[in-house]
Structure 1
Amino acid sequence: MRRIITAALLSAMLSLTAQAAAEKSSNNVVYRWVDENGSVHYSPTKPWGVNFESVNTNYSAHQREMIEESNKAKETHDRLMNKEQQKNDEEKAYKEKQERLQLCIDTTFDKMSYQKRRIEDDSVKQKLDCEYTFSRAKQKSKYDECILKIESERIEKVSQLEQSINQCIDADTPKKMIQEVMEKHREHEEMRNAQASGQQK
């Protein structure tokens, strides 16, 4: 009976010893790889995207130093990559907002141009009505008053129309972006006017 118990205890002790040895061996695994520049790296965690080999050993002072340097290099690389990604995201967001602003500005100016022509045409017609209603020679004061009223209304309508451009611009729109968009709009208008002038000739 004692032999059976002793054998059982011995078997359990051997099993625990093997498990402890396996855990110790697992804890001592180092991953080694060589980068594109030929530099050797060691890490306690598996690297991604490279060929590596497992080195099952206790860390020597030299290995610990190399692991620390490798981890620092990885942290530096990750920070640079994050900064680069952030920069790319900011540039993409800036470009997308600029394109939206450009579309809004161009569309609004096109509408304004059409509406201004209508305002001007209506003003001319109303001034002719003043001429027909009040003789410029006989009722000059009333004629002048009529013209002044029409002109004031025209100026007010045009002013309100021009303020509609502000709908395209919010408080977060950079001044540089507004200048770039307006410059591009002027270039587009000059080109369109030149083409229209060439067609008329």
Structure 2
Amino acid sequence: MEEEFVETYCSIVIENAKYIVGWVSVMLSSWKRWVEKATTDSGGVSMSLTDLLEVKLSSNSLTGVLSLEIGDMKVLKILNLSSNQLLGDIPITIGGLIDLTDLSLAVNQLEGSIPESFSALLSLDILDLSYNNLSGRIPKCLEALLYLKYLNVSFNNLRGKIPTGGPFVHFWPTSFISNDAFCGEPRLQVPPCEEDSPHKKKG
């Protein structure tokens, strides 16, 4: 584990450690215990989960579901849990991490829809949800993420109209390939949406 302390802030970085296996539903409790020990060892400098700036746990063997408590890390800027074996829905509480700039949950087994609460992540620069089992539509409210430069939702089970406003004007077809039934603008190499077709409008 690599710990970086800047004032009372810290990072948790564990990457490519294939031997690490754990249930993510209890990981926050483990982090709390680690933080309490670090607080004691540092001579009483106050630290908590709310002080975490970066959590990088990619390419491990983490299993289980993401806890709602993940939303407690209010100053978090980078959350990378890619290339693990995470299950279940994406917690809507992630939408409360308003300082987040980089979010990667790619290459897991996450299900359910993309939370509309993500529209509150106004500082987000990178969003990678590729290679999961997500379903439903891309929330149109994500057009509000004006700083989003990289989006990847490929290789899921998403469907419906791909948003066209805000940052979506800059994204390429590779951001959306291998999903169930996307529709939208021709430049995205998907069929036109039925509600946008001339025949539908005439009817």
TM-score, normalised via structure 1 length: 0.20
Q: Which has the higher contact order (CA 8 A, sep 6+)?
A: 1
More helix by share: 1
More strand by share: 2
Higher-Rg structure is 1
